[in-house]
Structure 1
Amino acid sequence: MGQYVTLATCNLNQWALDFEGNKERIIESIIEAKKQGAKLRVGPELEICGYGCLDHFAENDLYQHSWEAYGDILQDKRTHGILLDVGIPIIHKCIKYNCRIISYDGRILLIRPKLSLANDGNYREMRYFTPWNRPKYYEHFQLPYHIRKITGQFKVVIGDCVIETLDTKLGCETCEELFTPQSPHIAMALDGVEIFTNSSGSHHELRKLDTRLGLIMEATKKCGGVYLYANQRGCDGDRLYYDGCAIIVANGEILAQASQFSLKDVEVISATIDLDDVRSYRNQKSSGMQAVDKEHPYHIIQCDMELSPGEDVYNPNVVPTKPQNVRYHSPEEEIAFGPACWLWDYLRRSKCGGYFLPLSGGIDSCATAVIVYSMCRLVVDSDDEQPLKDLRMLTKDPNFTPEKPQDVAKKLFSTCFMGTENSSRETRSRAKELSEKIGSYHIDLNMDNLVTAVVSLFKVATGKKPIFKIFGGSQTENLALQNIQARLRMVLSYLFAQLIPWTRGLSVPGLLVLGSANVDECLRGYLTKYDCSSADVNPIGGISKTDLKRFIAWAEKKFELPILHEFLTATPTAELEPITKDYVQSDEIDMGMTYDELSRFGKLRKVDKCGPLAMFVKLYHEWSQPPYNLTAEQVAEKVKRFWFFYAINRHKMTTMTPAYHAEQYSPDDNRFDLRPFLINPRFPHASKKIDEMVDTINQRQREIDESNKSVD
């Protein structure tokens, strides 16, 4: 026998404040869910207005427009005949809440506010909303006038309640609530809820997905039940990329999983589940049966409909969905697809003419170029019609149909090698060959005359001419001469980005300038303020050098680009100082630390919340052992050096290019890492405590050595 229900959830590429577009995508997902035979459709968090509205949530207009869009959905007959779970912000008693609305056939059943708000890292929900921190409490909400006209209702229940249909119970859990120690699905399960919905706005970070999916699977593995997770996908208008991966889980097993990275605006997945399997699974959990009587019941909202129509309850033609294995992308694939999808959304929504990249011949700008090439591959390989429509809109060519990624790159991607007398033939050659392989419109130029003109102007104005350190100049002169090259590249980047379409006779707007400073260089401040790292967007600003190198090694084979091997094996260098027989500038020597060390410093600083002293303690335990075998003095010196350069360069983060967020230790000052930019770089108190600890370690080691000698 069996009691089969077909349920649907989705990924939606919503856009902050795009009420019309968001509404159409919601309706499209509902229609698709009905086509798949579903009787319940779950959508992402705040899908009506878009999750990333930020301080626009302070504007009352936003809530009015959200109700207007929701009213259109309610009265659209195409959305009837299916139970709907829609994310929307609501003002109740002058307080703003992040809510879900459950409706059926144009009538609202329940407004369910979010109980626990996300308020760390990239999230500031407490800035905009108030948590409904009263579990199982409910009251009544007076509907806006135009909604009353549509539904015929005056008031509806608002609060932490559950829905009971003629055949089952379902309850809501919203995003952050899944991650809390006492997730609502536990109490709901103990009160007989069999179907849980989760409307989410979860962003992408490298290696993060397994945590999210693990919690979703665990939710029903312990309690039994069906869990439908919906997520936002795409660039919502900020640094984050929401990585979809909607999923349906029953009794701890995955039945359906949507894609994590895709150019599709709407992706709906469904699964058919036998509710008897849920009941049988729970009957085996004796501890759960014992816990039932200890729980206070939820207020129940009755819904006079069946998720499993009576005539299909025992229909042998209804086939339940079989479990499948969870799908994960490797970190290299995440770098290839996540920033590429983010760049595509940014480009099509800004409606600019394409991207411009200063291509230096180094691995960072190389990785940025390959990510743009990956974007072009995704556009060509997409089986959805929207990317082609967007491509034709961007190129102003209604007949453009690319056959290969290079066709897209030729239209949308321009690169430029801005060489000086300090540039090597190898970097120039690598840049040119890479541009040929990926299809970008490439310019190769020398800017020595421009640099000479600026230095000459300074000499005329001051009577002094700076020279490089290698020729006898001071460190100050050396740094200034490097910085003027880097800053002139930024000026040239914007000049070329604005005028390249004009020179090519293209009737498109100017290009967006891409930055290519990685997260480790940002953390250390190893970049010039307002140099060519200053750009419109930066797809690698949240990715470590170590991960970028792994990505390039992967792309060399996956994208069939043998030239990438030369980038991978080349010594990282800024090429801002003269190359001589005895000297070639090296990034790691200049920084005084390796990229691997920088990654470790970054994780300890941001993820583990370590100050200088705590960082020293942790690293001494790590680096005093093989294979490092560093002394306490050496570890202390490295820690002090990192914090010094981090502190004196912190001001650079206030002007950093908006970067794709991919790493938990990103130093992005604008939203993710809010810290002062003027602090004492010597950290005198912490340094004194570190020195005392070094003395203690050394004294203890001397005592051990003396003891060993006496034994001998």
Structure 2
Amino acid sequence: MGRKVTVAVTTLNQWALDFEGNLNRILQSIQEAKELGALYRTGPELEICGYSCEDHFYEPDTYLHSWQVLAELLKSPTCKDMLIDVGMPVQHRNVLYNCRVAFLNKKILLIRPKMLLCEDGNYRESRWFSGWTKERQTEEYYLPRMITAITEQTTVPIGDAVIATKDTCIGFEICEELWNPQSRHIPLSLDGVEIISNGSGSYMELRKAYVTVDLVKSATFKSGGAYLFSNLRGCDGQRIYFNGCSCVAVNGDIVSRGQQFALHDVEVITATIDLEDIRSYRTKIRSRSHLAASNPPFPRITVDFALSDDEDVHLTISPPIEWQYLTPEEEIELGPACWLWDYLRRSGQGGFFLPLSGGVDSTSTACIVFSMCTQICDAIQKGESQVLYDVRKILCQSDYTPSDPMELCNRLLVTCYMATENSSQETKQRASQLASQIGSYHFPILIDAAVSAVIGIFTAATGFIPKFRANGGCPRQNLALQNIQARLRMVLSYLFAQLMLWVRGRPGGLLVLGSSNVDEALRGYMTKYDCSSADVNPIGGISKTDLKAFLQYAKNRFFLPSLSEILQAPPTAELEPLTDGQITQTDEQDMGMTYAELSEFGRLRKTQNCGPYSMFQKLVHSWSDKCTPHEVAEKVKHFFRCYAINRHKMTVLTPSYHAETYSPDDNRFDHRPFLYRVHWNWQFKAIDDAVAQMTKDKRGSSDRQVDSNQLSASTTNVNSHFMRGDRKGVLI
């Protein structure tokens, strides 16, 4: 009797609606799994059509083409003698389901619909799909005729069931079912299911890779078994980046894992599992055995197939491994670079154009492109033929092979320093030095003539000449003159992006890169339709603090000494006149808050769902060592005023790589209004009343001696006043 089985989990870089490409990548993964000795292969969520089809899931074409791809898989000799499950959408009785379809030797065994849908963050699954609610039940699914012609089956079971082979039992979870408090792997394992596969579409956020790993390990720690987690990789046509990390866990230990970020489209990892280890582990947990004895059974789909071999003594069991997590700086180096690569090779463009100011943000963007070039060169050296093919296609040069990242960067990245009379020589020099160290095709330009022309048009029409504040102008004039410079940089960026490859004797155009960070978007510290407006923005979901840490890391990682000077310089927009040739304008002074404070405001607003009053209540304690209650109140009110005034800018925010939980991206992640009442009268009055109460309580405690009971009574928390409607507390 066999006891050892080899299973394969797959990481695929699929693309929404790319049915031909998706099919080829699935077939490649099956072939690789077979060559590695696996008899069971599982893959990521909705791998046939791509996860991010979104409203295309309403279109009958999406389901037709998905079935056509499945038909090709069923017919393919590559799939012979291997148990396979794939992810695809299925319509059953006029209801749309997100499903796994398991098949073997031209026979569909089971269609298993997703039972628990994901609605968090960037997920909106119930907009298109419904969850299967009939626990431990199956129904008959009538197959399309094109499938019946191949399988000779008219109907197949659809529902909450498991597959019983001659030697083991396989069950399914789909993505969110692992995260849910009532995960399906618990009742499955209690019913004797020994292998549980999960096809997932889980995207990355900074510092979050451990979450999935911990969940996968714990899924088998309490009740034993093998857990197969297959995840997507790539941008799939969206702001998010699916970050791989496919893995296999056995009895609470990770025994095999894939990469978090990589440029190759197909990655297959295998694990060899001893089924007797699972059975022994489970029987030793006596409380589990007692509970399992009364567990309601799942419908079993019996199949005359074995994953093990009677002569498997030569197979070596996969031992536990230690998961090495990337640092946030490494995640910034690799993730956005891979996202840019996907975007570039699928957009049909010839490279990137970046306005390089010599500041932290544009420098970070340039370094991420250089990281992309480094990864491309590394992949080509390792024999990744698809990467080399894509590079040659982008550059329209069929015999080209990059010699080093700098040489490739010169072909793929054009950088431009756009100076005005308000720009300093220091930032110009820093931009030039960085460009020479990463190899970008760089040039400086002066845009004063364009600025003067626009001002001249205004003056000719009105007879008025706007002035900077430093020259006696009012705040409105000062702001308008800054915005002219910023918006003209956007216009010129697109002009150069469209024509620079023509200048360099190459076909095609360039994608314009934005370089506004998540904190500036949150605060609205940007000009609408300025050079923050671009085609894509690789740092739009990353905080200023993390970008500085990334540059400190990149300085040594890529040997870029110019980054030291860039990190030491205070962030500035350089849109106001210089004083004796020196910068007087700084970002934090303009914003009225530090970048560190902005990050805290952002996390409280988004991840902890704080309005003005709740935010004040939290910060008045956490900032008590550096601010009085009155100062905290003023900072909170200033943030919410700025947030309300500038929220409309999020409606035109450049599509950005999603990396931060407090991203204010209006289009997908942050569904809040874009038009607010700026004064927040009710909320700010609540804060003012709370400050007054705290000041009164503090003054009273210093004027008299009280025992602990009296002190407790005299300093009743403002929240209790709020809850009972006490007029001495806050308005209700």
TM superposition score category, shorter chain reference: over 0.9
Question: In the alignment, what sits opposite 1:333?
Answer: 330
Normalised by the size of structure 1, how large is the TM-score?
0.98
How far apart are 1:311 and its partner, in Å? 2.9
447-456 vs 476-485, which deviates more? 447-456
How far apart are 1:698 and its partner, in Å? 0.6
Identity %: 55
Alignment of 1:352 with 2:365, yes or no, is no
Question: In the alignment, what sits opposite 2:535?
Answer: 536
Question: In the alignment, what sits opposite 1:545?
Answer: 544
Say if 2:424 and 2:583, in contact at 8 Å, map to a contact too. no
Among 691, 698, 708, the alignment partner of 1:694 is 691
Deviations 1:633-666 (A, max 9, x none): 1000000000000011010000110000000100
- Structure 1 unaligned regions, length at least 5: none
Say if 1:2 and 1:274, in contact at 8 Å, map to a contact too. no
Q: What is the identity, as a one-letter code, of the residue corresponding to 1:26?
A: I
Question: In the alignment, what sits opposite 2:730?
Answer: none
Question: In the alignment, what sits opposite 2:53?
Answer: 53
Cα distance in 1 for partners of 2:478, 2:216 equals: 55
Question: In the alignment, what sits opposite 2:229?
Answer: 229
Alignment of 1:185-584 (within 5 A): 185-312=185-312, 315=313, 317-382=314-379, 383=382, 384-506=384-506, 508-581=507-580, 584=584
Q: What is the identity, as a one-letter code, of the residue corresponding to 2:591?
A: M
Deviations 1:285-341 (A, max 9, x none): 1110111133210000001100002232xx2x2111111101211100000000000
Question: In the alignment, what sits opposite 1:620?
Answer: 620
SS at match of 2:232: strand
Among 660, 665, 669, the alignment partner of 1:668 is 665
SS at match of 1:444: strand
Cα distance in 2 for partners of 1:705, 1:456 equals: 64
Question: In the alignment, what sits opposite 2:647?
Answer: 650
Deviations 1:65-97 (A, max 9, x none): 000011000110111111101000000000000
Cα distance in 2 for partners of 1:561, 1:213 equals: 34
Alignment of 1:638 with 2:635, yes or no, is yes
Q: What is the identity, as a one-letter code, of the residue corresponding to 1:48?
A: I
SS at match of 2:173: strand
Cα distance in 1 for partners of 2:294, 2:517 equals: 53
CA RMSD of aligned residues (A): 1.2
SS at match of 1:187: helix
Say if 1:136 and 1:299, in contact at 8 Å, map to a contact too. yes
SS at match of 2:141: strand
How far apart are 1:352 and its partner, in Å? 0.2
Deviations 1:529-549 (A, max 9, x none): 000000000000000000000
Q: What is the identity, as a one-letter code, of the residue corresponding to 1:602?
A: G
Q: What is the identity, as a one-letter code, of the residue corresponding to 1:265?
A: D
85-94 vs 292-301, which deviates more? 292-301
Deviations 1:341-391 (A, max 9, x none): 000000000110100000011100000000000000000000211111100
Cα distance in 1 for partners of 2:583, 2:345 equals: 45
Cα distance in 2 for partners of 1:134, 1:484 equals: 61
Cα distance in 2 for partners of 1:283, 1:209 equals: 32
Say if 1:2 and 1:276, in contact at 8 Å, map to a contact too. no
Deviations 1:420-444 (A, max 9, x none): 1111111000101111111111111
How far apart are 1:259 and its partner, in Å? 0.4
Deviations 1:533-585 (A, max 9, x none): 00000000000000000000000011111111111111000000011048610
Q: What is the identity, as a one-letter code, of the residue corresponding to 1:344?
A: W
Cα distance in 1 for partners of 2:355, 2:374 equals: 21
How far apart are 1:456 and its partner, in Å? 1.5
Say if 2:2 and 2:310, in contact at 8 Å, map to a contact too. no
How far apart are 1:133 and its partner, in Å? 2.0
Cα distance in 1 for partners of 2:193, 2:663 equals: 40
Say if 1:205 and 1:663, in contact at 8 Å, map to a contact too. yes
Question: In the alignment, what sits opposite 2:44?
Answer: 44
Say if 2:8 and 2:268, in contact at 8 Å, map to a contact too. yes
Among 678, 681, 685, the alignment partner of 1:681 is 678
- Structure 2 unaligned regions, length at least 5: 709-732
Q: What is the identity, as a one-letter code, of the residue corresponding to 1:509?
A: G
SS at match of 1:90: strand
Say if 1:97 and 1:113, in contact at 8 Å, map to a contact too. yes
4+ aligned runs moved over 6 Å, structure 1: none
Cα distance in 2 for partners of 1:369, 1:468 equals: 31
SS at match of 2:87: strand
Cα distance in 2 for partners of 1:9, 1:368 equals: 33
Q: What is the identity, as a one-letter code, of the residue corresponding to 2:45?
A: E
Say if 1:406 and 1:440, in contact at 8 Å, map to a contact too. yes
Deviations 1:37-89 (A, max 9, x none): 00110100000000001111111110010000110001101111111010000
Cα distance in 2 for partners of 1:320, 1:307 equals: 15
Q: What is the identity, as a one-letter code, of the residue corresponding to 2:677?
A: N
How far apart are 1:502 and its partner, in Å? 0.6
SS at match of 1:584: coil
Question: In the alignment, what sits opposite 1:20?
Answer: 20
Question: In the alignment, what sits opposite 1:592?
Answer: 592
Question: In the alignment, what sits opposite 2:131?
Answer: 131
